Amino acid sequence: MKKEIVAMVLAGGRVDELSVLTAMRPKSAVPIWGMYRIIDFVLSNMMNSGIDVVGVLSQYRPYSLNSHLASGAPWDYLGRTRELRILSPYRGARDTDWYRGTADAVFQNLNFLEHYYPELTLIASGDHVYAMDYRPLIKQHLARKAALTIAFTPVPWEMASLFGTAQLDRDGRVLVYQEKAAKPRGNLASMTVYLFNTKVLQERIRQNAAEGRTFQIYSEVIPRMVSEGEAVYGHVFDGYWKYARTIASYYATNMDMLSSAPPDLEAWRVRTNLAIGVAADPPPVIVQSGAAIAGVLVCAGAVLKGAVSNSIISPGVVIERGATVRDSIVMHGSTVAAGAILDRAIVDKGVLIGPGARVGFGDVVPRDAARHIVTDGLSVIGKGARIPAGIVIGRDCIIAPETLESHFSSREIQAGTTVGP
Amino acid sequence: MRSARDTLVMLLAGGVGSRLNILASRRAKPAVPFGANFRVIDFTLSNVMHSGLARVGLLTQYKPFSLMDHVGSGEPWDLVGRERGIKVLPPHTGEADSDWYKGTADAAYQNLWFMEDYRPDKVLILSGDHIYRMDYERMIAAHEAAGADLTIAAMQVPWEDAHRFGVMVTDADSWIVDFQEKATNARSNLASMGIYVFNYRVLVEELRRVVAAKRGYDFGKDVIPRMLGSRRLLCFPFEGYWRDVGTIRSFLDANLDCLQPTSGLDLTKWEVCTRPNEKGSGDRPPVRVHQGAVVQAALIARGCIIEGEVVNSVLFSGVHVGKGARVRNSVIMHDTVLGDHATVDDAVLDKGVEVGPGCTLGVGDVSVANRAFPTHLFCGITVIGKQAALPAGCRIGRNCLVYPGVRLAGHAAREVPDGETVTGA
């Protein structure tokens, strides 16, 4: 079946910097803003841009991502001519490998593209938080007769070395493209949104599969196209664009929703999969008398009986009477028992904070930089962990997923400690 | 899990709800929004689902559109599948019967053809008008164990309310020995909840004997009393929360019961299912409660923004409570906006109402009943219809009624006194 454009989402990445949040799921499946997952934004952008066939490239612990994507119906990808397909690694006659990189992932799924033989293929990362209409980019791509158009967004100069950056000429043609250069010549950062002419993509991806070393689009395919003089253009986007590269930036992006000018999610038309429970739909937010709630983003199915301020509360969270939650993120189905205190904590799903426990106590301690985990005074509690009653956990601590009460050897966990089974 | 061959459900959802006044003027009573997230019929449909029943006939008659939209194919209640389903049964003309449903039994009689398709062993007859949580499986099992022809669910009501119900007298084994429908001198306060398990064969015979013979058209009034003595009628006692939300007072009270864990209405335990994405409500973002807001005892749906104060109130999706605004003891439906410093007490505001900045609503003399509808609005509650607009600074008293779509103008733009109705005409 012929389609003008088909999209592929790069959703497989595990990012170590996100610590225990990505222990059980790829970054694209990490919950954000209470009820969303990071991949919702790119999928909603595609839906709102009229792209109706999407393949999701995923290989790292895909269970939670796959159940979230389901049939694609939440993004209207269910229908005779619409499709959302999860493209997992497979064993073929020759290829017996896992995806070696983004270019390799596309290479191994060229048959998905060939099924639709689209003129254009949009490849976008599932790891970013933004609302973008891709249609102006597509229009520019066609007007310039480009082979590849990359979306860029300006970032502060001191951040530019973290990204692929480019310099563009007046027509938007990419003059220079540098991948994570120590001293970049431009501060336009790649958003990891690539619009290819499909023919060019097929050719370049096959070439990369034969000759590549990193098998990455950003570090091999794009630099080579630029250096060989292909028509590579940039499209500049200057709206809200955030990422969750580290625990600190994940936290900051979450907290943007509590700022005085939060992103307008209704205007963004962001969709998510609401099929949360099997037994029942979550009831509305329940605030009992005696609760003290201010500066809070809170989702259906939460029950608030204690004090909650400057925090993000996901569906099904219970904050018991006498508990205090401040400057924290509490995900689906977690319970904060009576008298417990959370202060700058990120609590993954299904966690029990025991009565009178205290998370985020005392001074901020910088962690060992060699581990690349900057927790910025934040303590992170992994999925399904059970925090014993009355325990005191310092700042910058990490509690591994499924840690039980019996795994804690002390009543006081020093700042900067990791506890796990 | 009971198949349609075992027990078929007939859900009567045609209720007019006239005492709900403008809340039910454009929707059937089962489709009236309830509990910030739900519609009244969700409670019955969720009971059906949790009782393991799979095949439902939905009998509609009065303004069924929002109800049909809401029920759709029934997938929110797990009613889609090879052996499962919900079928809308609107009134229809036939060879002999060309009329609207004349009563509950007539509605069942006119849809005997639907039941005949399944030839069930038993038929469970329900109404979609009530807020309760009940396991029908236990009732069906009791019916089977006793070998009854008809089992009626019943609960104790206050004696002074008994005249509003069908009441029954039972013997020591719960067999019904007497039944009176809405009698002035009720001999019992054990009231029928309008929930019946019939043996299908008995139902067919009784409908032919009574409805086909044009002796009467109502289960409570006509069919059940004629079965006394000749059939085995069992009472199935129910204890727990059960409300008919047929009046504005009972509608507001039952909504506020959701906020009191001791009321017996516990949404955290009842597992009520709804169509979560109806009209895009599921796409709404989470609730935002601003710094400086006060929220005490509240039920708040998706997409609400709260800058002011919300106490003992139920807010449907997309409600905005402005800075310094205050809502108490009220139900505020979807997308209604309260301007800064507006106050709302003891009121029901339908969808999309605009309350201008500084309005006061529900302040005045409780004892002045509504002049146009003294039996609907007499206990202090003010009701504002869908998409009405109240200009900045206007004062609206108690027991007032503002019709849907009315933009208050002239004198009413400044004040609507206690007991007044503004129809816009």
Question: What is the CATH number for B313?
Answer: 2.160.10.10
| Chain A residues in contact with chain B using a Cβ-Cβ cutoff of 8 Å | 33-35, 257, 262, 265-266, 269-271, 274, 279-281, 283-291, 293-300, 303, 309-310, 312-313
pLDDT reported for residue A374: 53
How far B268 CA lies from chain A's nearest CA (Å)?
7
Asked whether the beta carbons of residue A266 and residue B261 sit closer than 8 angstroms, the reply is no
B22 has pLDDT over 90: no
B95 has pLDDT over 60: no
Contact present, B318 and B284 (Cβ < 8 Å)? yes
Render pLDDT for A378-413 as a digit per residue (tens, 0 to 9). Answer: 999 999 999 999 999 999 899 999 999 999 999 999
Collapsing DSSP to helix, strand or coil, B131 comes out as strand
| Domain presence at residue B50 | yes
| Chain B residues in contact with chain A using a Cβ-Cβ cutoff of 8 Å | 35-37, 46, 76, 258-259, 261, 267-268, 270-274, 276-277, 282-303, 310, 312, 315
Structural domains in chain B (count): 2
Q: Are residues B45 and B188 in the same domain?
A: yes
Strands A31-32 and A392-394: unpaired
Where in chain A is CATH 3.90.550.10?
Answer: 5-258
Report the residue of A32, A273, A287 to disrupt the B interface, i.e. the one with the largest count of B CBs within 10 Å. Answer: A287
| Boundary-marking domain end, from B190, B220, B249 | B249
Strands A164-168 and A174-179: antiparallel
Report d(CA B145, CA A31) in Å as an integer: 50
Contact present, A215 and A104 (Cβ < 8 Å)? yes
pLDDT reported for residue B400: 97
What single DSSP character describes residue A82? Answer: B
10 Å CB burial of residue B45 (0-12, 13-18, 19+) is: buried
Domain that residue B383 falls in:
286-422
Sign of CA dihedral A398, A403, A404, A407: negative
A306 has pLDDT over 90: yes
Collapsing DSSP to helix, strand or coil, B51 comes out as coil
Q: Which residue of A has its CA nearest to B261?
A: A288
Four-point Cα dihedral A351, A355, A359, A362, nearest 10: -170
| Domain presence at residue B203 | yes
How far B386 CA lies from chain A's nearest CA (Å)?
22
Element (H, E) at A243: strand A241-243
Contact present, B357 and B393 (Cβ < 8 Å)? yes
Give the burial string for A255-293 (b: 16+ CB within 10 Å, else e): bebbeeeebebeebebbbbbbbeeebbbbbbbbbeebeb
Q: What is the DSSP string of A311-351?
A: EEE-TT-EE-TT-EEES-EE-TT-EE-TT-EEESEEE-TT-
Q: Are residues B233 and B368 in the same domain?
A: no
Element (H, E) at A353: strand A352-353
How far B12 CA lies from chain A's nearest CA (Å)?
23
| Domain presence at residue B234 | yes
Q: Are residues B192 and B295 in the same domain?
A: no
Which residues of chain B have a CB within 8 Å of the CB of A300?
Answer: 37, 286, 301-302
Report d(CA B192, CA B165) in Å as an integer: 7
pLDDT reported for residue A100: 81
Q: Are residues B295 and B244 in the same domain?
A: no
Contact present, A130 and A242 (Cβ < 8 Å)? yes
**Domain A278-419, CATH class in plain words:** mainly beta
Collapsing DSSP to helix, strand or coil, A277 comes out as coil
Report d(CA A399, CA A248) in Å as an integer: 16
Asked whether the beta carbons of residue A285 and residue B273 sit closer than 8 angstroms, the reply is no
Q: How many CB pairs below 8 A link A and B?
A: 110
pLDDT reported for residue B261: 82
Asked whether the beta carbons of residue A280 and residue B46 sit closer than 8 angstroms, the reply is yes
Identify the band that residue A230 occupies on the pLDDT scale cut at 50, 70 and 90.
very high
Contact present, A40 and A29 (Cβ < 8 Å)? no
| Domain presence at residue B341 | yes
How much of chain A, in percent, has pLDDT values that exceed 90? 69
Q: Which residue of B has its CA nearest to A40?
A: B283
How far A273 CA lies from chain B's nearest CA (Å)?
9
| CATH number (domain holding residue B143) | 3.90.550.10
How far B149 CA lies from chain A's nearest CA (Å)?
33
Tell me what the mean pLDDT of segment B57-75 comes to. 87
Report the residue of B275, B284, B300 to disrupt the A interface, i.e. the one with the largest count of A CBs within 10 Å. Answer: B300
Contact present, B281 and A289 (Cβ < 8 Å)? no
- Greater pLDDT, A108 or B252: B252
Identify the band that residue A79 occupies on the pLDDT scale cut at 50, 70 and 90.
confident
Q: Are residues B413 and B314 in the same domain?
A: yes
Render pLDDT for A345-355 as a digit per residue (tens, 0 to 9). Answer: 999 999 999 99
Q: What is the DSSP string of A5-40?
A: EEEEEE-----GGGGGGGSSS-GGG-EETTTEETHH
Give the least confident one: A225-234, A308-317, B79-88. B79-88
pLDDT reported for residue A364: 67
Mean per-residue pLDDT over chain B, rounded: 93
| Domain presence at residue B279 | no
| Boundary-marking domain end, from B188, B223, B249 | B249
Contact present, B157 and B165 (Cβ < 8 Å)? yes
pLDDT reported for residue A96: 53
Asked whether the beta carbons of residue A283 and residue B267 sit closer than 8 angstroms, the reply is yes
Q: Which residue of A has its CA nearest to B267?
A: A283
- Greater pLDDT, A79 or B50: B50
Task: Give me the count of residues in chain B.
Answer: 425
pLDDT reported for residue A206: 94
Query: Could you say which of B284, B297, B303 has the minimum Cβ distance to residue A287?
Result: B297
Mean per-residue pLDDT over chain A, rounded: 90
pLDDT reported for residue B176: 97
| Domain presence at residue B303 | yes
Asked whether the beta carbons of residue B35 and residue A297 sit closer than 8 angstroms, the reply is no
Compute how many other C-beta atoms are within 10 angstroms of the C-beta atom of residue A131.
Answer: 18
Asked whether the beta carbons of residue B37 and residue A274 sit closer than 8 angstroms, the reply is no
Render pLDDT for A16-66 as a digit per residue (tens, 0 to 9). Answer: 667 788 887 888 889 999 999 999 999 999 999 999 999 999 877 777 888
pTM of the model: 0.90
Residue A195 Cα to chain centre, angstroms:
20
Tell me what the mean pLDDT of segment A301-326 comes to. 96
Report d(CA B257, CA B312) in Å as an integer: 10
Task: Out of A119-123, A241-245, A412-416, B406-410, give the one with best mean pLDDT.
Answer: A119-123
Which residues is B331 bridged to in the sheet?
A: B314, B348
Tell me what the mean pLDDT of segment A303-311 comes to. 97
Q: Are residues B242 and B375 in the same domain?
A: no
Q: Are residues B101 and B222 in the same domain?
A: yes
pLDDT reported for residue B412: 87
Tell me what the mean pLDDT of segment A117-134 comes to. 96
Q: Are residues B191 and B328 in the same domain?
A: no
Render pLDDT for B355-374 as a digit per residue (tens, 0 to 9). Answer: 999 999 999 999 999 999 99
Query: Could you say which of B293, B295, B300 has the minimum Cβ distance to residue A284?
Result: B300
Asked whether the beta carbons of residue A294 and residue B291 sit closer than 8 angstroms, the reply is yes
| Boundary-marking domain end, from B249, B271, B305 | B249
Structure tokens at B137: 């499986």
Q: Are residues B203 and B299 in the same domain?
A: no
Which residues of chain A have a CB within 8 Å of the CB of B285?
Answer: 33, 35, 265-266, 270
Tell me what the mean pLDDT of segment A223-252 comes to. 94
Structure tokens at A136: 């102006």
First to last CA, chain B: 53
Collapsing DSSP to helix, strand or coil, B85 comes out as strand
Identify the band that residue A373 occupies on the pLDDT scale cut at 50, 70 and 90.
low
Sequence letter at residue B262: T
Contacts of A199 (CB under 8 A, 6+ apart): none
Which residues of chain A have a CB within 8 Å of the CB of B297?
Answer: 287-289
Collapsing DSSP to helix, strand or coil, A161 comes out as helix
Q: Which residue of B has its CA nearest to A75?
A: B283
Sign of CA dihedral B184, B189, B195, B200: negative
How much of chain B, in percent, has pLDDT values that exceed 70? 97
Four-point Cα dihedral A226, A227, A229, A233, nearest 10: 10
Report d(CA A304, CA B42) in Å as an integer: 24
Give domain A5-258's CATH architecture. Answer: Alpha-Beta Complex (3.90)
Report d(CA B336, CA B394) in Å as an integer: 16
Contacts of A367 (CB under 8 A, 6+ apart): A373, A374, A375, A396, A416
Asked whether the beta carbons of residue A303 and residue B293 sit closer than 8 angstroms, the reply is no
Tell me what the mean pLDDT of segment B387-416 comes to. 95
Tell me what the mean pLDDT of segment A228-253 comes to. 93
Q: Are residues B119 and B190 in the same domain?
A: yes
Asked whether the beta carbons of residue A289 and residue B37 sit closer than 8 angstroms, the reply is no
Query: Could you say which of A280, A294, A310 has the minimum Cβ distance to residue B292?
Result: A294
pLDDT reported for residue A94: 57
Tell me what the mean pLDDT of segment B18-42 comes to. 90
Tell me what the mean pLDDT of segment B322-348 comes to. 98
Asked whether the beta carbons of residue A298 and residue B276 sit closer than 8 angstroms, the reply is no
Compute how many other C-beta atoms are within 10 angstroms of the C-beta atom of residue B214.
Answer: 9
| Domain presence at residue B165 | yes
Render pLDDT for B131-186 as a digit per residue (tens, 0 to 9). Answer: 999 999 999 999 999 999 999 999 999 999 899 899 999 999 999 999 999 888 88
What single DSSP character describes residue B212? Answer: I
Q: Are residues B54 and B196 in the same domain?
A: yes
Q: Are residues B216 and B68 in the same domain?
A: yes
| Domain presence at residue B265 | no
